[in-house]
């Protein structure tokens, strides 16, 4: 399960990498370097491809009774996108998005007492995007909106598979794939699945220098689903 992503990017790097403006409601809201479930991350949607906005990690369906995430909806498997009632509804409604990041982390459990923590980044890009789906839940009392997203995962490459027992990893997008994923012009909804590929091993770095925080609980470092 993908539950930890990193964001070590300056505002200048962010706006340089993406031709989009930061929404006024986000200007004074810094994003954490270590983004976990319920934290906010930078997102660009197919509905507003010219706008950088912030959403909560961990998707809350539009029809949920509250904005609390009650299911493991922070990841969406590529294979299930058109099979699941939740994911297929979002796919058909063009609720696709990209989540902007500088990398993701994975724990490797060596034995009962030892865990190695790995950081995965791209070699050629300090900032890149992951494919996602998003939803907007509205408070029935106040009308306020809670926007949230899920990261799409695919079969892992060899580097991640050596660490990840379930052989999964997030879908990292090239610049061309970003445009296609955010477009609404592909002739068939199934065509969007072809955009979601596994990044090759030789385009990634795996670094064991990542040090978990003093308050980290390894049980919360869930693997990509």
Structure tokens at 77: 């498997």
pLDDT in tens, 42-100: 999 999 999 999 999 999 999 999 998 888 899 999 999 999 999 999 999 999 999 99
What does DSSP assign to residue 182? Answer: H
For residue 218, pLDDT over 70 is answered with no
For residue 210, pLDDT over 80 is answered with no
Structure tokens at 23: 């929404």
Locate all alpha helices (DSSP H) within the chain, ordered by sequence: 11-17, 85-92, 158-161, 175-182
pLDDT in tens, 188-204: 999 999 999 999 999 99
Answer for the pair 55, 130: CB distance below 8 angstroms, yes or no: no
Q: Which CATH code fits 4-220?
A: 3.90.1680.10
Q: How far is the C-alpha of 146 from the C-alpha of 68, rounded, in Å? A: 10
3-state secondary structure of 24: helix
pLDDT in tens, 135-173: 999 999 999 999 999 999 999 999 999 987 789 999 999
Q: Is 131 exposed, middle or buried (0-12, 13-18, 19+ CB in 10 A)?
A: buried
Q: What is the pLDDT of residue 113?
A: 72
Picking from 128, 170, 150, 138, the residue whose alpha carbon sits closest to that of residue 55 is 150
Q: Maximum CA pair distance of the chain?
A: 52
Phi (first) and psi of residue 53, to 5 degrees:
-140, 170
Render 140-176 in DSSP notation, one character per residue.
TTT--EEEEEEEEEEE--HHHHTT-TT-EEE-EEPHH
Average pLDDT over residues 11-22: 89
C-alpha torsion 59→191→173→67, nearest 10: -10
Q: Count how many residues are written for the chain.
A: 225
Answer for the pair 88, 133: CB distance below 8 angstroms, yes or no: no
Pick the residue with more confidence: 48 or 26? Answer: 48
Q: Is the pTM of this model over 0.85?
A: yes
Q: What is the pLDDT of residue 216?
A: 52
Place of tokens 């906010």: 40
Residue ranges covered by each domain of the chain: 4-220
Q: What is the pLDDT of residue 1?
A: 56
3-state secondary structure of 127: coil
Q: How far is the C-alpha of 28 from the C-alpha of 206, rounded, in Å? A: 33
Structure tokens at 53: 């906005």
* Strand duo 21-22 + 51-57: pairing: parallel
């Amino acid at each position: 399960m993908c539950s930890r992503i990193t964001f070590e990017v300056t505002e200048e790097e962010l706006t340089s990498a993406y031709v989009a403006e930061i929404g006024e409601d986000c200007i004074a809201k810094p994003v954490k370097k270590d983004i976990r479930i319920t934290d906010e991350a930078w997102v660009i949607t197919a509905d507003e491809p010219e706008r950088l906005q912030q959403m909560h990690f961990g998707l809350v369906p539009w029809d949920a009774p509250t904005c609390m995430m009650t299911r493991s909806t922070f990841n969406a498997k590529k294979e299930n996108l058109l099979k699941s009632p939740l994911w297929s509804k979002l796919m058909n409604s063009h609720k696709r998005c990209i989540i902007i990041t500088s990398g993701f982390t994975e724990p490797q459990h060596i034995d009962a007492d030892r865990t190695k923590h790995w950081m995965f980044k791209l070699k050629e890009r300090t900032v890149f995007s992951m494919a996602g789906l998003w939803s907007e839940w509205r408070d029935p009392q106040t009308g306020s909106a809670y926007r949230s997203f899920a990261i799409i995962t695919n079969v892992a490459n060899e580097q991640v598979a050596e660490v990840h027992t379930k052989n999964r990893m997030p879908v990292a997008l090239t610049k061309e794939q970003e445009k296609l994923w955010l477009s609404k012009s592909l002739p068939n909804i199934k065509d969007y699945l072809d955009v979601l590929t596994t990044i090759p091993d030789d385009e990634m770095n795996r670094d064991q220098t990542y040090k978990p925080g003093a308050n980290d609980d390894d049980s919360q470092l869930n693997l990509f689903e």
